[in-house]
Amino acid sequence: MSTNLLRLGTRSSELARWQTDHVAILLRFAYPELMTESVIISTKGDQVLDTPLPLVGGKGLFTAELEAALRSGVIDLAVHSLKDLPTEE
């Protein structure tokens, strides 16, 4: 693996992929020697389609698998939408 390769974890939704591509473009503009790779990661929130999300577990459903991939070294960076992150109210 090249040391100039940055693996960006993302969900498979069109919005998530667009956001990740946008982040990758900005990073490559700032660091022209950098190569990026998008790694699609399926989350529980993407898989559970027949139950209202609050009944399954709420906002963390879209981030847990990405965070696990980050901790385990599968990806180097995770791109999230703030709306998907657990926050205090």
Out of 21, 50, 76, 84, which one is annotated catalytic? 84
Contacts 24+ apart (CB under 8 A), 11-14: 11/40, 11/41, 11/42, 11/43, 11/46, 11/62, 11/66, 12/40, 12/42, 12/46, 13/46
- 21 is annotated as an active-site residue: no
What phi and psi values does residue 80 have, to the nearest 5 degrees? -120, 155
Just list the catalytic residues: 84
